Amino acid sequence: MEIFVFLFSFSALGILYGMNTISELQEPYVILEIGVAVLVIVFLFYFLITRGNPPKDFLFFVFAEFSFTCIIDLTSALEYDGIISGFMEFYQKTGEPYLGTSYGIMMCYWDGIAHFIMYLMMISRITDRKAYRTLGLFWAGSLCANMSVFIVGIVAGKYGSEIHPAFWLNFLFLLMPVLGAILLFTRPKDRPLIGGYNAQHAQSLKLIWRPLDIILLVLLLAAMAFTILRGLVALDSPLEACSIYLKQYEPYLKDPVGYPRVMMLHLFFYALPLLGAFVYGLLKPGCTWMPDWTIFLAGAMIQCQWSHIGGFLHPRTTAPYRIPSDAFWLVLAANLLYAATPVLVALRVYSNPYFFLKIAPFPGQTGLPISEEKDTKYKLK
């Protein structure tokens, strides 16, 4: 099925070419109507062809539908970069002109490549009746961050006065990952929450004997400091450190398109508390919520940093907002490390989860007679 979805998604190119050729289809409200009609038709198409063997997961249809739109986003990015032409000129004028910003282009590359691959992988696992909860949480974090920054940035930035009817289609792409995240968070976990001897041993080790965790704690604290600094810059703090950082290191944060500022505020108000929670989770044994939230935030932050780093590197960013040459490598390294930190934490949690499991009681620890305990089964890891 994933191969069929992959091939069918490219039929979007035919629709784009037709709309780009026929001037009557390029009016703002006509674009909105065609967009809604295409989404409905694609949904009905997948619904009808799967009636004989319907997927047991509603999100299958979301992933199949969004795979179709991934090709549209990829086409948009490629056309803005001059790699292809003849598909999206109309949309650049009367659809969503803000997609031509450096941030918008990099966001479309992420959606057209990274999200497209995720959709095909999750569709494959759904059709094979396999679990995909971990990948699903990574996708949900990525797309939630993507669309929340994108929508708020449009309204708050310089394109707030150039909103066309097609803008309202974006709310579907914000609603679905939120719904998907709720469904995935409430599903049973792929791994057990209770551990035995291995978990007890891992949790008995003091921090000094866990050098990897010490390194991750340092990275998390540094990421928190970086988040606070850039959040204060976005809030126009008069602190001298904020002024110096803005002028000498990342003037891109004040790009009038609005996306960098909105992203920093998102990270300040939403990612910062989670980074602090991860510090707690690496110090306090038995935090069973760590696997889910680390993978969710990893998806969100790597998407944000992809768009942010790509944005200040892209030639469409005007000269006053580019990174100064004498600070370029430092700023790039800091942003790459910032993106990698939540990913490294998630990898640590998933590769060696014993520290984050509840410990199953052993004979004599439950207060029950040992003869009764023998009849009690615990799920040991």
Quick: pLDDT tens for 207-259: 788 888 899 999 999 999 999 999 999 998 889 999 999 999 999 998 888 89
Q: What is the mean pLDDT of residues 180-194?
A: 79
User: What torsion do the CA atoms of 317, 323, 326, 328 make, to the nearest 10 degrees?
Assistant: -100
**Cα-based angle 104, 110, 113 (whole degrees, multiple of 5):** 135
Q: Is the Cα dihedral 312, 318, 319, 321 positive or negative?
A: negative
For residue 250, give the amino acid letter.
E
Report yes or no: 202 and 302 within 8 Å, Cβ to Cβ: no
Query: Which residues 6+ apart lie within 8 Å of 226 measured at CB?
Result: 334, 338
pLDDT above 70 coverage of the chain, percent: 91
Domain residue extents for the chain: 1-186, 194-359
- For residue 369, the model assigns a pLDDT of 47
Q: What is the pLDDT of residue 374?
A: 43
pLDDT, average across residues 270-275:
94
Between 196 and 323, whose confidence is greater? 323
pLDDT at position 363: 53
State both tokens at 16.
């784009």
79 close to 88: Cβ distance less than 8 angstroms: yes
In sequence order, the 6+-apart residues with CB closer than 8 A to the CB of 275 are: 220, 223, 224, 227, 297, 342
- pLDDT tier for residue 54 given thresholds of 50, 70 and 90: confident
Please check the confidence at residue 8 and state whether its pLDDT lies above 90. Answer: no
By CB atoms closer than 10 A (0-12, 13-18, 19+), residue 241 is exposed
Q: 316-347: per-residue pLDDT in tens? A: 888 888 989 899 999 999 999 999 999 999 99
Extended strands (E) in the chain: 194-195, 358-359
- Looking at the DSSP assignment, which residues form a beta bridge with residue 358? 194
Q: What pLDDT sits at residue 135? A: 92
Reply yes or no on whether the pLDDT at 367 is more than 60: no
Contact 102, 319 (CB under 8 A): no
Asked if pLDDT for residue 376 goes beyond 50, the answer is: no
Q: Which whole number is the average pLDDT over 6-34?
A: 86
Position 122 confidence tier, pLDDT thresholds 50, 70, 90: very high
Mean pLDDT of the chain: 86
Lowest mean pLDDT among 90-104, 123-137, 139-153, 187-201: 187-201
Question: Is pLDDT at 378 greater than 60 in this prediction?
Answer: no
- The gap from C-alpha 338 to its chain's centroid, in whole angstroms, comes to 15
pLDDT at 362 over 70: no
pLDDT score recorded for residue 342: 94
pTM of the model: 0.87
Percent of the chain with pLDDT over 90: 45
